[in-house]
């Protein structure tokens, strides 16, 4: 039974989902903050469900020897080291929509709170001061809101702001003019947004490009009296530069939910009268937390129990409907890759995976990852479908995927071609109606062989006597032949034999086989 650890304060609704799906679950909402304890325990789990408090660092991942999936109940996965998780073959999933409305509402709340200085006015009133003249606000109707990052959350913010009769302009290089038109926003360049906006709200992930997107230079381009809201990620705004602009009065107010260092127990923005801060509450509503907890638990359970993949940030999606149909082809692709990998002894420069017929309409990215995993595993050991594409790239392998929907001799055919500096080798396979993968062609020589746990691959010259001498050599060593498949280019030409044996082929017997007069090459294979 797979085991999942919930190491952050997820809604307990997630626990029930895991249990209902037959998964053992440990709910330890404070564990994520205790790095040492988490590192000590993580090796026991197949799945890890988190929010933002658990930092899944390479140190944690190093110990996560059974971990197959990390589920982030939320959007940003910047608390997970994705390359390290990928290299270890761990799927990382998030829930990209479950808290978007809630976060957009938080941004709008902060904008309104800034416009009317609600927190300061509240403090003053409750302190018995009744400072009616001190809190002169600004109306938002007719004001311009600049949205930086107009994806899921940014576009909900834009929609709500339009409902509040604001003019909305958006900077997002990936926002198409059609989508901007649909949303009713004006797509602009960043400088234009900075120049025109009365309020600026940020809704991008934190990347190399967005880090300090609002720095001192950008702030200098803004309107005097601008108000800035950051409900996305700390680090999008240069906090020092913003503080200076607040002190000088150029920026009239700032409302921040996220900070460069979190938890933010001290920050340069704290204490300024025109600053409103919340402790990363963007996603904190009952509804959003229920949504993301249920969604992440469902997604993780699906993956652990059926292999279906949804919302993974490091692997293509595989639906629950697709998973059973794909499974025999994943097995085929992986075994064809493994066949090629076990025969390859020098560096691979290029791999081509060709899909013909029905299989060409399937999720070929997942199949290619499986073929690469099979190919690399004999050389590198600990490789799986998640880590294989990254490792292939790191090793400078050119990976080419070819699809041809027209079927040839087989309803579906996958061919893996591997090029090294010395040679080019290819192998094709299919899945028959019984769901079992078969090898049907090796280097142009027709075959019909199943993959077996222990096999011998032989290239030989098509001359009389080979089968007899080979069988005799194995018989003398008391090795039973289970199946024997042969194929040849032409009578008397190059031939291939794939023999399934019971048990392993000892080194000394392999040496005898290699010494047989017709044998050019003999290799043990394991599947």
Ligand X SMILES: O=C(O)CCC(=O)C(=O)O
Ligand Y SMILES: NC(=O)C1=CN([C@@H]2O[C@H](COP(=O)(O)OP(=O)(O)OC[C@H]3O[C@@H](n4cnc5c(N)ncnc54)[C@H](O)[C@@H]3O)[C@@H](O)[C@H]2O)C=CC1
Active-site entry in 186, 262, 290, 489: 262
* Residue 428 contact, options ligand X, ligand Y, none, Cβ 5-8 Å cut-off depending on partner type: none
Pattern 228-267, binding to ligand Y, x per CB under 6 A?
A: ---xxx-----------------------xx---------
Of 51, 106, 160, 280, the active-site residue reads 280
Q: Among 280, 335, 377, 512, which residue sits at the site for ligand Y (rule: CB under 6 A)?
A: 280
Among 150, 275, 495, 496, binds ligand Y (CB under 6 A): 150
Tell me how far, at minimum, the Cβ of 29 lies from ligand X, in Å.
Answer: 12
Two tokens, residue 503: 């048990």
Q: Is 262 among the catalytic positions?
A: yes
Query: Of 279 and 493, which has the nearer Cβ to ligand X?
Result: 279
Q: What is the dihedral of CA 487, 491, 494, 500, to 10 degrees?
A: 30
Work out whether 283 is an interface residue with ligand Y (CB under 6 A).
yes
Q: State which residue, 88 or 233, has the beta carbon closest to ligand Y.
A: 233
**By CB neighbour count within 10 A (0-12 exposed, 13-18 middle, 19+ buried), where does 419 fall?**
middle
Q: Which stretch binds ligand Y (CB under 6 A): 204-212, 340-348, 362-370, 401-409?
A: 204-212
Q: Any idea what DSSP says for residue 394?
A: H
Q: Which of 71, 149, 234, 357 contacts ligand Y by CB under 6 A? A: 149
210 binds, among ligand Y, ligand X, none (CB under 5 to 8 A by kind): ligand Y
Residue 450 binds ligand Y (CB under 6 A):
no
We find the least distance from the C-beta atom of residue 294 to ligand Y, in angstroms, to be 16
Q: How far is the CB of 371 from ligand X (least distance, A)?
A: 34
> Closer CB to ligand Y, residue 102 or residue 144?
102
Q: Are 160 and 108 in contact (CB under 8 A)?
A: yes
Tell me if 70 contacts ligand Y by CB under 6 A. no
CB-wise, 17 or 458, nearer to ligand X? Answer: 17
Task: For residues 378 and 344, give the distance between their C-alpha atoms in angstroms, rounded to a whole number.
Answer: 9
Minimum distance, C-beta of residue 39 to ligand X, in the bound complex (Å): 22
Going 454 to 458 to 462 to 468, the CA torsion angle's sign is negative
Q: Of 153, 61, 162, nearest to 99 (Cα)?
A: 153
Q: Which does 51 bind (CB under 5 to 8 A by kind): ligand X, ligand Y, none?
A: ligand X
Q: Which helix (H) or strand (E) holds 171?
A: strand 167-171
Neighbours of 101 (CB within 10 A): 17
Q: What is the DSSP letter of 517?
A: T
Q: How do the residues of the chain divide into helix, strand and coil, expressed in percent and rounded to 5?
A: 35, 25, 40
For the four alpha carbons of 160, 162, 164 and 168, in that order, the dihedral sign comes to: positive
Total interface residues for ligand Y by CB under 6 A: 32
Give, rounded to a whole angstrom, the gap between the first and last alpha carbons of the chain.
25
409: left (phi over 0), alpha (psi -120 to 50) or beta: alpha
Task: Name the helix (H) or strand (E) containing 276.
Answer: strand 275-277
Tell me which of ligand X, ligand Y, none is bound by residue 185, counting a contact when its beta carbon lies within the kind-specific cut-off of 5 to 8 angstroms.
Answer: none
Give 278 or 358: the residue with its C-beta nearer to ligand Y.
278
In terms of residues, how long is the chain? 527
Q: How many CB atoms lie within 10 A of CB 389?
A: 21
| Burial class of residue 329, CB neighbours in 10 A (0-12, 13-18, 19+) | buried
Q: Where does this chain touch ligand Y (CB under 6 A) — which range of 169-177, 322-330, 368-376, 431-439?
A: 169-177
Cβ at position 77, least distance to ligand Y in Å: 8
* Candidate ranges 131-139, 148-156, 234-242, 304-312; the one touching ligand Y (CB under 6 A): 148-156
Question: In the complex, what is the shortest distance from the CB of residue 163 to ligand X, in angstroms, rounded to a whole number?
Answer: 24
The residues of the shown chain that bind ligand X, judged by CB under 6 A, are 51-52, 74-76, 99, 280, 282-284
* Burial readout 221-259 (b: 16 or more C-beta within 10 A, e: otherwise): ebbeebbbbbbbbbbbbbbebbbebbeeebbbbbbbbbb
Distance of CA 54 to the CA centre of its chain: 18
Report the C-alpha gap between 289 and 259 in whole angstroms.
Answer: 21
The neighbouring-strand residues paired with 357 are 412
Q: Taking the alpha carbons of 333, 336, 339, 340 in that order, is the dihedral positive or negative?
A: negative
Question: Which among 21, 51, 233, 485 is annotated as catalytic?
Answer: 233
Is the link from the previous residue into 253 a cis peptide, with omega within 30 of 0?
A: no
Tell me whether residue 56 or residue 354 sits nearer to ligand X (CB atom). 56
Nearer to ligand Y, 78 or 489 (CB): 78
Residue that the structure tokens 């032949």 belong to: 481
152 binds, among ligand Y, ligand X, none (CB under 5 to 8 A by kind): ligand Y
Min dist. Cβ of residue 254 to ligand Y (A): 15
Does 203 participate in binding ligand Y (rule CB under 6 A)?
Answer: yes
Stretch of residues binding ligand Y (CB under 6 A), selected from 35-43, 70-78, 364-372, 469-477:
70-78
Exactly one of 9, 148, 185, 373 binds ligand Y (CB under 6 A); which one? 148
Which residue, 280 or 485, is less far from ligand Y as judged by CB?
280
Closest residue to ligand X, based on beta-carbon distance: 74
Residue 233 falls in the annotated catalytic set: yes
Placement of tokens 């629950």 in the chain: 320
Residues labelled as active-site residues? 233, 262, 280
Residues that bind ligand Y (CB under 6 A): 74-76, 96, 99-100, 103, 148-154, 171-174, 203-205, 207, 209-210, 231-233, 257-258, 280, 282-283
């Amino acid at each position: 039974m797979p085991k999942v650890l919930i190491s952050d304060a997820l809604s307990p609704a997630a626990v029930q989902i895991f249990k209902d799906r037959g998964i053992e679950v440990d709910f330890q909402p404070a564990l994520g903050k205790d790095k040492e304890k988490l590192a000590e325990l993580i090796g026991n789990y197949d799945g890890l469900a988190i929010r933002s408090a658990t930092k899944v660092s390479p140190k944690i991942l190093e110990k996560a020897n059974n971990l197959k999936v990390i589920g982030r109940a939320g959007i940003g996965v910047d608390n997970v080291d994705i390359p390290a998780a990928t290299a270890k073959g761990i799927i990382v999933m998030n829930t990209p929509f479950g808290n978007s409305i809630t976060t957009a509402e938080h941004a709008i709340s902060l904008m309104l709170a800034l416009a009317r200085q609600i927190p300061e006015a509240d403090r003053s009133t409750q302190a018995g001061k009744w400072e009616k003249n001190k809190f002169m606000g600004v109306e938002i109707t007719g004001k311009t809101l600049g949205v930086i990052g107009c994806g899921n959350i940014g576009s909900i913010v834009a929609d709500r702001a339009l409902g509040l009769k604001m003019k909305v302009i958006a900077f997002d290089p990936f926002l198409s003019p059609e989508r901007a038109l649909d949303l009713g926003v004006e797509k602009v360049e960043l400088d234009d947004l900075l120049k025109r906006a009365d309020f600026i709200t940020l809704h991008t992930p934190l990347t190399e490009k967005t880090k300090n997107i609002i720095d001192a230079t950008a702030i200098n381009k803004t309107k005097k009296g601008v108000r800035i809201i950051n409900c996305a990620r700390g680090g999008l705004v240069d906090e020092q530069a913003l503080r200076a602009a607040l002190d000088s009065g150029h920026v009239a107010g700032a409302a921040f939910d996220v900070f460069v260092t979190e938890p933010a127990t001290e920050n340069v923005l704290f204490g300024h009268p025109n600053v409103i801060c919340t402790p990363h509450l963007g996603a904190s509503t009952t509804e959003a937390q229920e949504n993301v907890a249920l969604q992440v638990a469902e997604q993780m359970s699906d993956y652990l129990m059926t292999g279906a993949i949804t919302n993974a940030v490091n692997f293509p999606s595989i639906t629950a409907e697709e998973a059973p149909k794909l499974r025999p082809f994943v097995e085929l692709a992986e075994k064809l890759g493994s066949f090629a990998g076990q025969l390859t002894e020098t560096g691979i420069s290029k791999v081509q995976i060709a899909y013909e017929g029905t299989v060409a309409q399937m999720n070929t990215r997942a199949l290619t990852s499986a073929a690469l995993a099979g190919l690399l595993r004999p050389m590198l050991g600990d490789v799986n479908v998640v880590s294989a594409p990254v490792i292939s790239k790191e090793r400078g392998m050119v990976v080419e995927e070819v699809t041809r929907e027209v079927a040839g001799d087989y309803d579906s055919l996958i061919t893996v071609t591997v090029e090294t500096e010395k040679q080019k080798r290819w192998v094709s396979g299919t899945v028959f109606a019984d769901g079992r993968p078969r090898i049907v062609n090796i280097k142009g020589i027709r075959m019909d062989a199943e993959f077996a746990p222990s096999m011998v691959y032989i290239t030989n010259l098509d001359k009389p006597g080979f089968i007899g001498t080979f069988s005799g050599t194995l018989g003398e060593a008391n090795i039973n032949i289970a199946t024997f498949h042969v194929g040849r280019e032409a009578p008397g030409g190059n031939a291939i034999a794939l023999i399934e044996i019971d048990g392993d082929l000892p080194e000394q017997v392999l040496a005898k086989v290699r010494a047989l007069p017709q044998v050019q090459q003999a290799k043990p294979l394991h599947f």
